[in-house]
Amino acid sequence: MSDWQELERKYFMSTVERVPLTLVRGQGARVWDEDGREYLDFVGGWAVNSLGHCPPAVTEAVTEQAHILIQASNQFYTIPQIRLAELLVQNSCLDKVFFCNSGAEANEGAMKLARRYGQLHLGGAYEIITTIGSFHGRTLAMVAASGQPKFQQPYVPLPDGFINVEYNNVEAIKVATTNLTCAVMLEPVQGEGGVNLPDDDYLAEVRAWCDQRGILLILDEIQTGAGRTGTLFAYEQYGIEPDIMTLAKGLASGIPLGAFLAKDKASVFALGEHGSTFGGNPLACAAGYATLRFIIDNDIAGNARKVGQYLIERLESLRQKFQFITDVRGCGLLVALEFSEDIAGSLVMACLERGLLVNRVKPNALRFMPPLIIGRDEVDEASDILDKALSGVVS
Tell me which residues are annotated as active site.
Answer: 135, 220, 249
Q: Does 223 bind ligand PLP (CB under 6 A)?
A: yes
Spatial neighbors of 145 by CB under 8 A, at least 6 apart, are 107, 111, 128, 130, 134, 136, 137, 162, 164, 185
Give the range of 135-143, 202-210, 304-312, 379-387 binding ligand PLP by CB under 6 A: 135-143
Q: Which CB sits closer to ligand PLP, 80 or 137? A: 137
Q: What is the DSSP letter of 164?
A: E
CB of 234 to ligand PLP, least distance (A): 11
Q: Which of residues 65, 81, 102, 267 is near ligand PLP by CB under 6 A?
A: 102
Q: Which of residues 108, 187, 338, 378 is near ligand PLP by CB under 6 A?
A: 187
Neighbour order of strands in the sheet with 359-362:
325-331, 334-339, 365-368, 359-362
Q: Does 225 bind ligand PLP (CB under 6 A)?
A: no
Question: Rounded distance, CA 50 to CA 254, Å?
Answer: 9
Q: Does 243 bind ligand PLP (CB under 6 A)?
A: no
Q: Which CB sits closer to ligand PLP, 52 or 225? A: 225
Nearest to 359 by CA among 4, 148, 47: 47
Q: Does 188 bind ligand PLP (CB under 6 A)?
A: no
Q: Does 338 bind ligand PLP (CB under 6 A)?
A: no
C-alpha distances in Å from residue 360, one per residue of 247, 312, 364: 23, 17, 8
Backbone angle region of 23, left / alpha / beta, with phi > 0 → left and psi within -120 to 50 → alpha: beta
Pairing of strands 181-186, 127-131: parallel
Give the range of 108-116, 164-172, 184-192, 260-268 binding ligand PLP by CB under 6 A: 184-192
Q: Which CB sits closer to ligand PLP, 254 or 282? A: 254
244 within 8 A of 216, measured Cβ to Cβ: yes
Q: Does 103 bind ligand PLP (CB under 6 A)?
A: yes
Q: Does 367 bind ligand PLP (CB under 6 A)?
A: no
Per CB under 6 A, contacts with ligand PLP among 36-95 are: none
CB of 73 to ligand PLP, least distance (A): 23
CB of 141 to ligand PLP, least distance (A): 12
Question: Rounded distance, CA 103 to CA 59, Å?
Answer: 22
Pairing of strands 38-41, 244-247: unpaired
Give the range of 218-226, 295-303, 337-345, 382-390 binding ligand PLP by CB under 6 A: 218-226
Indicate the Cα dihedral angle 204, 206, 207, 211, nearest 10°.
140
What residues are paired with 12 via a beta bridge? none
Each residue 295-324 as x (binds ligand PLP by CB under 6 A) or -, in order, gives ------------------------------
Q: Which CB sits closer to ligand PLP, 55 or 191? A: 191
Question: Rounded distance, CA 384 to CA 244, Å?
Answer: 41
Give the range of 147-155, 216-224, 339-347, 383-391 binding ligand PLP by CB under 6 A: 216-224
C-alpha distances in Å from residue 284, one per residue of 31, 96, 175, 255, 280: 23, 18, 41, 6, 6
Using CB under 6 A, count the residues that bind ligand PLP. Answer: 14
Name the residue with the smallest CB distance to ligand PLP: 103
- Other CB atoms within 10 Å distance of the CB of residue 253: 30
Residues that bind ligand PLP (CB under 6 A): 102-104, 107, 135-137, 187, 191-192, 220, 222-223, 248
